Amino acid sequence: MRHHTPLRWGLAVVLALGTGVLGLAPVAAAPAQPAEARPLSPGLVTAMQRDLGLGAPQARTRLKREAAATQLAPRAEQLAGPAFGGSWYDAKRGTLVVGLTDTGTAAADSVRSLGGRVVSVAHSARTLDAAKAVLDKAAKADGAPAAVRSWHVDPRTSSVVAEVRKGAEHSAAVTAFLAPARTAGLLTIRSSAANDEPRTFAAGTVGGDPYYINGNTRCSIGFSVVGGFVSAGHCGTPGSSVVGWDGSAMGTFVGSSFPGNDYSYIRIGNGWWTVPVVLGWGTVSDVLVRGSAVAPVGSSICRSGSTTHWHCGTVLTQNETVNYSQGSVYQLTGTSVCAEPGDSGGSFITGDQAQGVTSGGWGDCTGGGQTWFQPVNEILNTYGLTLVTA
């Protein structure tokens, strides 16, 4: 059973998640409040000041505007119909931007009336998604060249963006793999440094506040669900046993998928309980989870993990395919948040909304880098799980 220190009591619940889950029994979900009425978790603004270079008033304003954009995004997509070209959050303007292939329609006027900024884009999201799907299909069938690090739809450029190792942009293998998107006139290639190789963030056993798989691999808990928690798929396989930070038995991997996906579900018992909390590691107060509304590209986002603890950044991409050495993983979200080995599986959260679990990336928290996460809603849907919320 987990011990409690004063730091772990900050949210009026006896918590202590982190990468172990123990405290009170699951808290029943409360009726949703308007974003403006929800108090910010103490310390969240401080973390955003540190990692995003914002003043405290700027951070509070940004969180409020991002919450409004998050609520608007699915409504705007529905209104736009076939003309929808994607949406993203514009931090400078503080608004949701909606790309449309035709900006002179009644649908465009409806989006504007809701508060969205409408801009013209060359291609619909449907067209771009179809082009990316062709690349995904090729990767699943034959694998992708190692020099192609990732690919995703970028609504801001209305193109399919491929991240390619610098110097390999015109190699035969890369050219052949990317040919479908290039032929369709939808391809943008971005060069990345040779040491920016995406990798997963599992690690060998070290001290800290982790969970351990089969006694020798450390990962981080993502989010509490009824009956257990979700994490990264590369951390373990079905049947793998899990112990907590103190060495006591927690439970077992029930479901796991990697590569292709990077998610897992661990069922717990042995006295471990679930609470709707993401650990702040003393950098910020522990953060309550109230839902899983998807934050648009451009939104701020923070991550909690057992190695580098709490760091923030912004959402860079959605539905990105990342080509790890073990194989491609699809439908990831890219961020500017750093991470290191042992952070795998940890929580990504925007405000009080769960976003996903850490998959992998490149770089570190000293020199910076990029990290991808597997969206939590896909995990919940796959395994029929219910997020534990406050």
Catalytic residues: 234, 262, 344
- CA–CA distances in Å: residue 312 to residues 52, 124, 188, 363, 367: 7, 31, 27, 15, 14
Q: Are 111 and 75 within 8 A, CB to CB? A: no
Residue 240 phi/psi, 5-degree rounding, is: -65, 135
- Cα–Cα dist 105/108, whole Å: 5
Q: Specify the 3-state DSSP secondary structure of 316.
A: strand
- Cα–Cα dist 267/296, whole Å: 31
- Cα–Cα dist 132/187, whole Å: 10
Omega before 82 cis (within 30°)?
no
Using CA atoms of 169, 175, 180, 183 in order, give the dihedral in degrees to the nearest 10. 80
**How big, in percent rounded to 5, are the helix, strand and coil portions of the chain?**
25, 35, 40
- Cα–Cα dist 18/209, whole Å: 7
CB atoms within 10 A of CB 67: 21
**Token pair for residue 69?**
């954009």
